[in-house]
Structure 1
């Protein structure tokens, strides 16, 4: 099959990424991206990240000290001239068909950007890592089609549109891609999520890193966008099923505390947990298919912790920051 013509630059921001970057770059080149089209922005790494990129033959820009991913990606875009910019995280291994898929999407001149999904085979062995990477896969698989946000983990955008929208805003670090997507769509841009445009996520998670990310890196900035009226309450990470799941986790926690006071709390606890299982049955079925009873047994409490973190972040913004956001 003839590859649809498309002028690509691949931007890979990398900080302390010596362990994952070789697989990331190898997969990109195996997918048809020449080394000279790949730009690694070494964001103040103190390990061998820069040397790994240099040995691979790709272009390298180095920041003397870490400037964080938003600025690193902006610098990468400023250093290239290609029509299409593909952002790939340094811990993502793209599938072999990624280039042809993106090229086919951009054959539509009305399309501004396209994003993909993590695949269903995360290699990190710990149950919490498999759970967390599969959660992202599940959410993106169920949100196919035109969407209102962008994702820099594996997402491509027309360079001209990126620059006209002002690039990524470091003030929204952690969800700078989401905020950028909102601006892009507000300017008339069209973003599509292709669930078959996939890559394996190599990141290893712990409960501590998951909690920190879910509270400060996700729930807090997402709630700020909601409070400012910039984010649709039905967006893929904030839809009715997600809000209901968070409510069931809160109800279960209250019922657990009330067990010492009234026996009725036990029935409330059972009901809340049952509703939580029903609301998330499709995701839990995915955990079962991928990892059997062992992954499911680990994933159910991890999912409850995920929603508990979302509640904490939401409450933090609504209770402590509401006057500033009003």
Structure 2
């Protein structure tokens, strides 16, 4: 099978050169490399040309990765489309692995991989974000209900049949998750292969973490869940994550009540214990990769993540009910139902 590698880029900088260098050193080289330049003002287009890529210019203003990937796919000739983000370095065997999975298993329509556990930026926030992503994908269901375009491959005919990525997502968001749900709902199988790995070169700070997690993930993901009346039980939405969110709110409630009833502070201990038990494997992994102090910082950031993500879900779910956009509110997944489902799944 022929591989068409598609890389959308907007002001890729030095990371983009590292991305293309890694692709050029793959044991299985692309049959064609397509770079979609999303109105970059730096030298990204020139760098892409240096590596022999076919460069597609998107115009004067950025349109986002969803539309950029679709434009690249429209010109692709390969039977397999491989989407790679401009800030990742593929491991040398990644492209060969994508081809192998889709060649040997014709029943699978799409495959995606994982970040590795050696991100170059070692600040607590960057290390936490990349290691959390790695851990989640390493432990996710292999027969997945989502897709990931950071390093993912899909059969071109299936991609075209479904209409590609949803272009209403004008910024990096959940366009790949939404495509994965459409794949599953259309009867196609998506496979998570944790052995296919890439190195994430992005440098995170606390504010970029919040902006991404809340406005580019939690808000659109919650809206997608509410519009479909279906809650996936995989990756960041697995039962452990749901119960962990409840534990965080239980601890916050106990701390708040403790200012009036000091005995309530003791009530936080069961929630803390359950939270640590549920996430012990992740925090032990943090300790292995970054030491004890990083594990503490990672646990704090993780608890904060559950706090703001579940808050977004609760607010949007409540607003959805109040607005009356759905005639039958009972068809929506409620927080109580999430708890009941989680108890059965753990």
TM bin (shorter chain): over 0.9
Q: Does the 8 Å CA contact 1:35/1:59 hold for their aligned counterparts?
A: no
User: Match for residue 76 of structure 1?
Assistant: 72
Quote how far apart the aligned CAs of 1:199 are.
Answer: 0.4
Quote how far apart the aligned CAs of 1:58 are.
Answer: 1.5
User: Match for residue 207 of structure 1?
Assistant: 206
Q: For 1:210-245, what per-residue CA distance to the aligned partner results, in whole angstroms no more than 9, with x for missing partners? A: 112221222222222322335444122212110111
Instruction: Check if 1:319 corresponds to 2:318.
Output: yes
Q: Does the 8 Å CA contact 2:90/2:197 hold for their aligned counterparts?
A: yes
- Name the Cα RMSD after superposition: 1.6
Q: For 1:249-277, what per-residue CA distance to the aligned partner results, in whole angstroms no more than 9, with x for missing partners? A: 11112222222101122112232222211
For residues 2-81 of structure 1, the aligned pairs below 5 Å read: 6-32=1-27, 34=29, 37-64=32-59, 65-81=61-77
- Which deviates more, 77-86 or 216-225? 216-225
Q: Does the 8 Å CA contact 2:8/2:36 hold for their aligned counterparts?
A: yes
Q: Give, in whole Å, the separation in 1 of the partners of 2:113 and 2:29.
A: 21
Instruction: Check if 1:169 corresponds to 2:153.
Output: no
- Residue 325 to residue 133, structure 1, CA distance change in 2 (3 Å): farther
Corresponding residue SS for 1:106: helix
User: Match for residue 331 of structure 2?
Assistant: none
Q: Does the 8 Å CA contact 1:172/1:221 hold for their aligned counterparts?
A: no
Corresponding residue SS for 2:89: strand
User: Match for residue 120 of structure 1?
Assistant: 117
Which consecutive unaligned segments of at least 5 residues does structure 1 have?
1-5
Say how many residue pairs are matched.
Answer: 321
TM-score computed with the length of structure 1 as normaliser: 0.94
Q: Does the 8 Å CA contact 1:211/1:305 hold for their aligned counterparts?
A: no
Q: For 1:101-128, what per-residue CA distance to the aligned partner results, in whole angstroms no more than 9, with x for missing partners? A: 1121112222211000111111112111
Quote how far apart the aligned CAs of 1:282 are.
Answer: 0.8
Q: Does the 8 Å CA contact 1:70/1:168 hold for their aligned counterparts?
A: yes
For residues 293-312 of structure 1, the aligned pairs below 5 Å read: 293-312=292-311
Q: Does the 8 Å CA contact 2:141/2:234 hold for their aligned counterparts?
A: no
Which consecutive unaligned segments of at least 5 residues does structure 2 have?
327-346
Q: Does the 8 Å CA contact 1:27/1:94 hold for their aligned counterparts?
A: yes
